[in-house]
Every structure is written in structure tokens, then in C-alpha cells.
Amino acid sequence: MLVSACQAATPTLVQDPLPTATVQTPTQPATATLAFTSTPAFTATPVPLFFTDEFNTNMDAWLSFQTGGETAPEIGLVSDFLRLDISSPHTWQYFIHNAHIYQDVFISAKFVGTPSGSMGLICRYNNDGWLEFNIAHDGTYNVLFAHWLADGIAEYTPIATDRSEYIHAGTFDYEIGLTCEENHILLHINGKLFRKIDVARFGLTEGSVGVSAASFEETPMIASFDWFKVVESE
């Protein structure tokens, strides 16, 4: 199943637990407590290749964008959390770390949220597409591949959707992990590896990494990331 999403400006992405329809571009631009730019001004000390961001200083190395929804989420660093308050349904917010390009890498994040919507990880994000692993509030997970059809038009291919004994409906407090290594991705929840998927057919070999959060029908949705970690894949 393929889903196309048309955008009028900078290419953005649209996702749901399983994409089923075209989502219209938001009628108003995203605004937030934090200011993000496409070319962050880094400090004199470069971000190391492998690092942990505990969200207690700034977001200079991050690019953020929104798709879907009528209202922009409120975004801020609150008590050492990256917090999103999403008030409108079907709203997606993405954070891409711009400092480095990775081939083989393991990324992880600790998050908590209201029992609604989804939260996830992104790897190999580049002009050719990206890979995305999401956990939803109903106890399911999915893996998506997306690529650009043209300027501002992305097509989505669901790779996998299922349930796991490590995900519980109504609970939204997890450590989520994603390994992108050669032709495979490996899915982790709370430190446990539970699935390996061949993604060779999608042709992505490198890219940026990041996190995402989304609301579905039920709002408000509050999502908080405690930390985000990038380490060398074993």
C-alpha cells in the first residue's frame, strides 16, 4: 500500500499508525517556543559523532517541522525534557538532528506521554527518503519507508505493523531503540531486541537521525522525550 502526501513548500512527511489517506498541508505555519533553523549555528565545540542529548541546554543542532493539524504544537525544554503539547488531531511533529550523517548506527530515546497518538525514531533521513519506527498508544508498532516523488511530495510504504509482548495498550512510557545496519533494521523496546527486518530493497544507505511524535483522533496529546542517544552499532 502506497500513500502520497502533497505539500506546498519544504518537503514534509505525514504518517499514521498505518497511512491510509492523503493529509492536507496545515493552514498555518508551525510556531513553537523553541526556534529552529534549517542551518543551525553550532557552538565552538562540535557535536560529537556519538552522543547523548538530555535536552537540558538548547536545540541548536535540530531541525523541526510539522505536517497535518490545524494548530502548531507548543514545543519547549521543560525540566530536562523535550516536551510537545499537541492540541489538534492528526498533527505530526518531527525533529531531525543535523550534525552528522550516519551509515550504520544505533539510536534510542526514552519517552513518556499521554495514552494517545504515537512516538518514534527516524534513521537514514536524506533527500531520497527515510526509515521510521513508531510505537502507538493502542499497543501496536509500525515501520515505514518514505521517499520523495517530487518537490514537496512524499510517498509512504508500510514495511511492518504488528503487536509485541513488550508494548501495552494504554501505556506510554518506553525506551525505544532502532539499529540501522547495512541492509537491516533492528527494533528494540526497553533494551530488548524483538525484530529484525530486511530493508535492502529501499536503497537507503546513510542519512540523519531523529525523533517524532503524532496525535491521532484523541487530543490533547502530550509527548516528552527524556533523552536521545546515538551510539556506534555493534
C-alpha closest to that of 139 among 168, 174, 165:
168
C-alpha closest to that of 65 among 107, 90, 32, 93:
93
How far apart are the two ends of the chain, measured CA to CA in Å?
A: 33
- pLDDT value of residue 115: 86
- pLDDT value of residue 153: 53
The sheet with strand 3-6 has its strands ordered as 3-6, 153-163, 140-150, 129-136, 118-126, 207-214, 91-102, 62-68
Query: pLDDT 10s per residue in the chain (234 long)?
Result: 444 443 333 333 333 333 332 333 333 333 334 444 444 444 446 889 999 999 998 899 999 988 777 889 999 999 999 999 999 998 889 899 999 999 999 999 999 998 889 999 999 999 888 999 999 999 999 999 977 775 545 577 899 999 999 999 988 899 999 999 999 999 999 999 999 999 999 999 999 999 999 999 999 999 999 999 999 987
- pLDDT value of residue 233: 86
- pLDDT value of residue 3: 44
Alpha-carbon span 183 to 174, nearest angstrom: 26
The answer to whether 190 touches 61, Cβ cutoff 8 Å, is no
- pLDDT value of residue 18: 33
* Nine cell digits for residue 45: 565545540
Is 106 buried (19+), middle (13-18) or exposed (0-12) by CB count in 10 A?
buried
C-alpha closest to that of 64 among 53, 75, 77, 52:
75
- CATH code of the region 3-36+50-163+171-231: 2.60.120.560
b/e 156-183 (16+ beta carbons within 10 angstroms → b) = bbbbeeeeeebbeeeebebbbbbbbeee
